[in-house]
Amino acid sequence: MVLDTTEERHDMARYGPDHKRETRRRLLDTASRRFKTDGFDGSGIATLVSDAGLTNGAFYGHFASKDALIAEVLAEQLAHQAEQLESAPAGHDSLAAFIGDYLSPAHRDDRAGGCPSAALLDEVGREALAAREAYTTGAARLVAAVAGHVAAAVDVPADEATSRAIGVLSLLVGALQSARAVTDPTLSEHVLAAARTHALSLATAPAPTPEAS
């Protein structure tokens, strides 16, 4: 249920649409960090609005429910990842840079500011339909963006480029989760390094040549 308080209506009238956009932006930014740190279930509305410097009433002036906020955060985070890939020059170098950045110690250590898949994928499957649909749309766009770089780097058919992109992204997410989970720093670094090598190899290995008849 949308909570439309008198206080919230007065705030909107006093500050105008620019303030509302800025407040919504702040709520999305702080919620994305909180979700990736504490999970969806561990992030109640009271905590989310406190992080953004808002009240519960103000929250419902922007989102009908926590589920709606989750769906928008997932959509926005995945879109941002895809946009970065889409804006990079197509080919091997951009793939190598993406893989290297994703499987870097800095990304491993920045759960709150990092990839939503590595932080939240196990929870997304238990979320409401809107969140899973938002994730599906975002993931498909991300696969397509990686596939575009694969196709530019290696002469393979579109379906092979897509298959490689799915494999690469699955490897990246799983490796980052593993590197974060282990307590041995040396093993964590080894996981990242091995995954970087194999992800780039999977993405850019030469297309198999037909055997001579």
One-letter amino acid identity for 181?
Answer: A
Ranges of CATH 1.10.10 domains, the chain: 1-64
Alpha-carbon torsion angle 13, 18, 23, 28, nearest 10: 140
| The CATH fold of domain 66-206 | Tetracycline Repressor; domain 2 (1.10.357)
Ranges of CATH 1.10.357.10 domains, the chain: 66-206
| The CATH fold of domain 1-64 | Arc Repressor Mutant, subunit A (1.10.10)
* Share above pLDDT 70 across residues of the chain, in percent, rounded to a whole number: 90
Alpha-carbon torsion angle 154, 155, 158, 159, nearest 10: -80
Q: Which two tokens stand for residue 210?
A: 């037909």
The pLDDT tens digits for 37-56 are 999 999 999 999 999 998 88
> Do 192 and 105 contact (CB within 8 A), yes or no?
yes
Q: Which two tokens stand for residue 72?
A: 């928008």
The pLDDT tens digits for 67-116 are 999 999 999 999 999 999 999 999 999 999 999 999 999 999 999 999 99
- Which pLDDT score, from 0 to 100, does residue 57 have? 80
